[in-house]
Structure 1
């Protein structure tokens, strides 16, 4: 599938502020960037750095006053896909080194607190079948409700409150997978059927020797999302990180299938 993406950000910074931006679709084998352009105002100390796991790029700079960013891209998705239920788990001792870090708890994914739960709830499943059961359990048990969580909400709070947004669904699935000794990471993506239209978040799990995306909200599939970046959780792939007060004036995301 080919996607057309437009992102517009309008922020204000009262004082000179260091900012890290990650909004561009990643140039990786599973998706071809046919066209891309980003408009930034004049900024100080501009640099581009590889994203987590060298997926995507972070733009680092210092700015003050108005920051208006416009990004446009056309992306052709060519992602590996499979019936998740059919995939086998990889034992921890056979994992590649880059997957091991995604077994551990992280800021928004306290996997060590969920081990008893996953055994009680999903103990009769293994590998991809367990991931599918977790995905379906989240879809049935957690209500998607805009504005129900904030930037500090973690997977435990979502499990208790039973409502959240896409990043919360992804955090909970990542947490449950890690508690089952299945590597899982958080992915920031663009997808056309996200409502309301915004940056979207999904989980990626390591099964049968490869990473597979899983969206517990059901709004996106592997073939209709453009990956921006990945990380242990949302903190690693925030679309905008500022080291000082930031005022959001406007933000608009538009993603459509071509």
Structure 2
């Protein structure tokens, strides 16, 4: 399987700031070719430094000045990676409530809707339930909305769907986490967010939006929720997105079945 991933982002910066970008494919992939990440301001390249985060997440940091900043990333990913490993601490970290996944608040809902289900049946049920109870509405949610607000509003975008899935699974004592991905077949094309759940000694992808086949997703960042996986965080001057174009293409788009186990590779 060969997948092409790219992102062309333009930002307007009001005052000097530090960028932390999370758009590069995960270090877990061995066969990444033709990879470039270029940050420019006023046509001049800016020095970028790389840091490693958990689960193969790569962060790219740079200092920018007031004005327009352009970020151009592209890579080709060959083949698939093996099943993601589990650190013992993951069984603690990904069972706890987090900023956007209030599993403690959603405990009664999770038990009432999915009590008694396990394994494949549980993941399929949660995915279908969230997909049926939410409407995908671009721009409908605020950046600070968590799973509880999403359920009350009954609408959102991919990160909102994933947050609700993660919160419900954690409430059922299933370790779950959020993953940002490049998603071939996604429409409209953008960065995408899905959930991963630890079931039967392996991480499995849950995507309640069903907007792209899970088999061809490309991992970018992995964490507790969107606070760990945002494509940009910054400190300093205010930053606004001027334009964004994300591309994800696979040589052959697979067929997906929500009832089947799929591991992100």
Same-fold call, TM cutoff 0.5: yes
SS at structure 2 position matched to 1:131: helix
Question: What is residue 256 of structure 2 aligned with on the other side?
Answer: none
How many residue pairs get aligned? The number is: 243
Distance 1:188 1:77, change over 3 A: farther
Question: What is residue 43 of structure 1 aligned with on the other side?
Answer: 46
Separation in 1, partners of 2:4, 2:206: 22
Q: In the TM superposition, what whole-angstrom CA distance separates every residue of 1:81-103 from its partner, at most 9, and x where no partner exists?
A: 8xxxxxxxxxxxx9822332000
Query: Contact (CA 8 Å) 1:127, 1:182: kept in 2 or not?
Result: no
| TM-score with structure 1 setting the length | 0.88
Distance 1:158 1:220, change over 3 A: same
Question: What is residue 24 of structure 1 aligned with on the other side?
Answer: 24
Q: Report deviation, 1:14.
A: 2.2
Query: Contact (CA 8 Å) 1:26, 1:57: kept in 2 or not?
Result: yes
Separation in 2, partners of 1:232, 1:240: 16
Question: What is residue 163 of structure 1 aligned with on the other side?
Answer: 155
Q: Report deviation, 1:204.
A: 0.5
Question: What is residue 254 of structure 1 aligned with on the other side?
Answer: 247
Query: Contact (CA 8 Å) 1:77, 1:224: kept in 2 or not?
Result: no
In structure 2, list runs of 5 or more residues that go unmatched.
252-265
Question: What is residue 61 of structure 2 aligned with on the other side?
Answer: 60
Separation in 1, partners of 2:68, 2:91: 40
Distance 1:102 1:68, change over 3 A: same
Q: Report deviation, 1:253.
A: 0.7
Q: For the aligned residues, what is the CA RMSD?
A: 1.9
Q: Report deviation, 1:77.
A: 4.3
Question: What is residue 145 of structure 2 aligned with on the other side?
Answer: 153
Q: Report deviation, 1:131.
A: 1.8
Bigger Cα displacement from structure 2, 94-103 vs 243-252? 94-103
Bigger Cα displacement from structure 2, 33-42 vs 137-146? 33-42
Q: How does 1:74-153 map to 2 (within 5 A)?
A: 74-79=76-81, 96-153=88-145
| TM-score with structure 2 setting the length | 0.86
Q: Report deviation, 1:238.
A: 0.7
List structure 1 segments (4+ residues) > 4 angstroms apart after TM superposition.
none
